[in-house]
């Protein structure tokens, strides 16, 4: 208690809004928690966070816990109470909403529910639960719900963590109806089986928007419509790649453009770039890959065998750019429907206790695999370079 009071007082001397958090608050002894919360508020804490750090509590318990704490702390009206729920038992969103019912007025959450272990409470699910069931949760926030889908995609691209298809609110299947009776009902009246409209969360029906004959102006307009703002060089590179994709793929959807542009933005400063790749594969091995890379402006060529075409591609990269990174994740899914769909590959590499993830898309799964691997490797190289510069500066 003394340490918390001292630290809150010190922080309050520097800034007006100080948040104090009770680690593993939901499993703490109530009498002690009341004493320390009263003390830190008196010392100047303006936000008090009661986290469910290990995802242990359940909704009814959390509501009662928050109500009891707020009622028993005499100066609780001087601070905003906050909830911060983990999803170890799959109840982070339910617990967050229960905490609000119990008196909390701040929710700490993450887009797509990302976070350590099983993740944190998903922002988009909490927001839409309040929005759709305002009769049960008569509260408000300033979130623009039409940006939820786009925010989800931005975070997914930045973290290289794909969103599961059946994820609530922002998953690809969230508004898909396969059952015949469901489809019939939705066609007659959307509210029959849709408790919210796709447009409410910013989901637009994917359409055939661009092709090989589309001009630069149409491409720029489409990017602006999708919320992208690219610099002149990035725009030129993205347009060139779109035209190349249009030559290989019959129909181009919004998702294709998103994958293309996200990859372009991520790879704009890469030191290692894929120039060409040829792979020989089939039922009778060995599988062999021949690769050409641009490494800091120098062209390098190598070939390697592997236990399958992907292994051969990755072995090629290891020969061209020797490293000790271990492959922790290799995941493939289709960006759109159809046999000519782009494959989107996610790769996570680990070296010296630090993991780097990247993803890439291409109609050729092996090319996408190579690009994703190189994307993660580029991050490791850049991190190593920054560490070297920092060490040199310090010495």
Determine the topology of domain 2-159 in CATH. TIM Barrel (3.20.20)
Cα–Cα distances in angstroms (integers) from residue 393 to residues 305, 382, 384, 386, in the given order: 42, 16, 14, 11
Check residues 389 and 349 and name the one with the higher pLDDT: 349
- In a 10 Å sphere around its CB, with 0-12 CB exposed, 13-18 middle and 19+ buried, how is residue 350 labelled? middle
Domain ranges of the chain: 2-159, 216-266, 272-394
For residues 84 and 63, what is the distance between their CA atoms, to the nearest angstrom? 13
Q: Identify the DSSP state of 338.
A: S
Token reading at 146: 């039409």
Burial 17-50 (b: 16+ CB within 10 A, else e): ebbbbbeebbebeeeebbebbbbbbebbbbbbbb
pLDDT digits (tens, 9 = 90+) for 21-54: 999 999 999 999 999 999 999 999 999 999 999 9
Token reading at 182: 């469901």
The yes-or-no verdict on residue 3 having pLDDT over 80 is: yes
For residues 359 and 138, what is the distance between their CA atoms, to the nearest angstrom? 40
pLDDT digits (tens, 9 = 90+) for 337-388: 777 788 889 899 998 888 888 888 888 999 999 999 999 999 888 776 666 6
Phi and psi at 16, nearest 5°, equal -80, -40
The residue whose two tokens read 């610099």 is 231
Q: Which spans in 77-170 are helix H?
A: 92-101, 123-132, 148-159
Cis peptide preceding 286, ω within 30 of 0? yes
Q: Could you tell me the pTM of the whole model?
A: 0.73
CATH of 272-394, one of 3.20.20.140, 3.90.245.10, 3.40.50.300, 3.30.160.270: 3.30.160.270
Token reading at 138: 């008569």
For residues 59 and 62, what is the distance between their CA atoms, to the nearest angstrom? 5
pLDDT digits (tens, 9 = 90+) for 255-268: 788 777 777 766 66
β-sheet bridge partners, residue 74: none
- In a 10 Å sphere around its CB, with 0-12 CB exposed, 13-18 middle and 19+ buried, how is residue 369 labelled? buried
Percent above pLDDT 90 for the chain: 56
- The rounded mean pLDDT for the chain is 87
For residues 323 and 321, what is the distance between their CA atoms, to the nearest angstrom? 6
Token reading at 295: 């490494």
Q: Band the pLDDT of 208: cuts 50, 70, 90.
A: very low
Token reading at 256: 């294709």
For residues 351 and 90, what is the distance between their CA atoms, to the nearest angstrom? 31
For residues 185 and 181, what is the distance between their CA atoms, to the nearest angstrom? 6
- Pairing outcome for strands 287-295 and 298-306: antiparallel
Token reading at 55: 């995802």
How many Cα atoms within 13 Å fall on the side-chain side of residue 241? 20
């Amino acid at each position: 208690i003394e340490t918390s009071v001292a630290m809150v007082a010190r922080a309050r001397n520097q800034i007006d809004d100080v948040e104090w958090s009770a680690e593993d608050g939901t499993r703490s002894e109530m009498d002690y928690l009341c004493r320390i919360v009263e003390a830190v508020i008196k010392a100047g804490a303006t936000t008090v966070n009661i986290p469910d750090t290990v995802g242990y509590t359940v909704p009814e318990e959390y509501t009662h816990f928050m109500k009891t704490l707020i009622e028993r702390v005499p100066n609780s009206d001087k601070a905003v109470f906050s909830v911060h729920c983990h999803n170890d038992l799959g109840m982070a969103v339910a617990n967050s909403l229960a905490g609000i019912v119990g008196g909390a007025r701040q929710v700490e959450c993450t887009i797509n529910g990302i976070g350590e272990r099983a993740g944190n409470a998903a922002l988009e699910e909490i927001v839409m639960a309040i929005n759709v069931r305002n009769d049960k949760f008569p509260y408000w926030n300033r979130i623009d719900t039409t940006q939820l889908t786009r925010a989800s995609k931005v975070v997914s691209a930045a973290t290289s963590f794909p969103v599961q298809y059946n994820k609530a609110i922002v998953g690809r299947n969230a508004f898909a109806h396969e059952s015949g009776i469901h489809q019939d009902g939705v066609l007659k009246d959307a509210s029959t089986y849709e408790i919210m409209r796709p447009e409410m969360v910013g989901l637009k029906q994917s359409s055939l928007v661009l092709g090989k004959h589309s001009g630069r102006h149409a491409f720029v307009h489409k990017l602006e419509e999708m919320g992208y703002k690219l610099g002149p060089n990035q725009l030129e590179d993205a347009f060139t790649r779109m035209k190349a994709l249009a030559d290989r793929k019959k129909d181009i959807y919004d998702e294709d453009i998103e994958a293309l542009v996200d990859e372009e933005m991520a790879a704009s400063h890469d030191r290692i770039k894929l120039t060409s790749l040829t792979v020989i594969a089939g039922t009778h091995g060995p599988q062999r890959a021949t690769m050409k890379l641009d490494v800091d402006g120098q062209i390098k060529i190598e070939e390697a065998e592997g236990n399958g075409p992907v292994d051969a591609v990755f072995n090629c990269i290891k020969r061209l750019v020797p490293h000790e990174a271990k492959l922790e994740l290799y995941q493939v899914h289709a960006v759109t429907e159809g046999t000519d769909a782009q494959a989107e590959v996610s790769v996570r590499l680990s070296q010296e206790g630090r993991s780097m993830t990247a993803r890439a898309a291409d109609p050729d799964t092996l090319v996408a695999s190579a690009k994703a691997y190189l994307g993660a490797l580029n991050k490791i190289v850049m991190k190593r370079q920054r560490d070297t510069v920092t060490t040199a500066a310090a010495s």
